[in-house]
Amino acid sequence: MAPQTDPLIHLLQRKPEVLKLLGRVWDILYIEGKGPEVGKRRENFIREILRRELGLQVNPAPPMERGWDFSIVVEGEERKYSLKTSESISIMKVAWNSFPSIERARRFRFKHSILYVTINRREGVISVYVFEVDDLEELKKEMGDGMWWMPKRGNPRGFGINITALKKLMEKAKRKGNFVSSKYDPIDISKIEEEYRRAWYNMLKELAKKG
């Protein structure tokens, strides 16, 4: 492992089959629709895949915590991550509460690494990046106010990192080795939708009977 490589990225680099599985499950979850709740199911599955396929101890953040989503324990050390998923390279929201302003963005401090998982379903490629705190704070100094995305009027909650800044972070992660990508075989969900719904129903029915 290169000295700068995040240990989670290192684990994923050694087990490309985990990314292939995640890519196919990403496709399957669209059976449930395309609303925000699909993103939440996706994030829940990512935490489970880290625990069950990589054997990691995965600890969820406390309910009111906004700075990070989960932590893992690697070689006796706890590492906290803010988890972001996306199907296109667009803005990355980093703050949700209160009215956004450039003054508030200037005061914003990154305290934990960002685990960014993105997919190109058309080409069947899934990629994972880690943006470390040092890289995030360094980019703030480089870009200044040009780093931030502010919502339009009528959407007053929160602000984020804009597309240009996000692409720079992706390049920084690649240079440090904090990047892994894998091809996967896309799934035609129209062919498995009935099987999925039947399995989902039977699982809930069996769990209900055990109660």
The string of pLDDT tens digits covering residues 44-63 is 999 999 999 999 999 999 98
Select the more confidently predicted residue: 197 or 75.
Answer: 197
Task: State residue 123's pLDDT score.
Answer: 93
Asked whether the whole model's pTM tops 0.85, one would answer yes
Q: pLDDT tens digits, residue range 24-43?
A: 999 999 998 877 677 888 99
Task: State residue 98's pLDDT score.
Answer: 65
Q: Which domains does the chain have, with CATH numbers?
A: 7-210 (3.40.600.30)
Q: pLDDT tens digits, residue range 164-175?
A: 999 999 999 999
Which of 180, 174, 194 shows the shortest CA–CA distance to 118? 180
Select the more confidently predicted residue: 196 or 99.
Answer: 196
Q: Check pLDDT > 60 for residue 1.
A: no
Phi-psi region of 209 (alpha: psi -120 to 50; beta: other; left: phi over 0): alpha
Q: What average pLDDT score do residues 96-121 get? A: 89
Q: Check pLDDT > 60 for residue 2.
A: no
Which of 87, 106, 109, 97 shows the shortest CA–CA distance to 148? 106
Task: State residue 17's pLDDT score.
Answer: 96
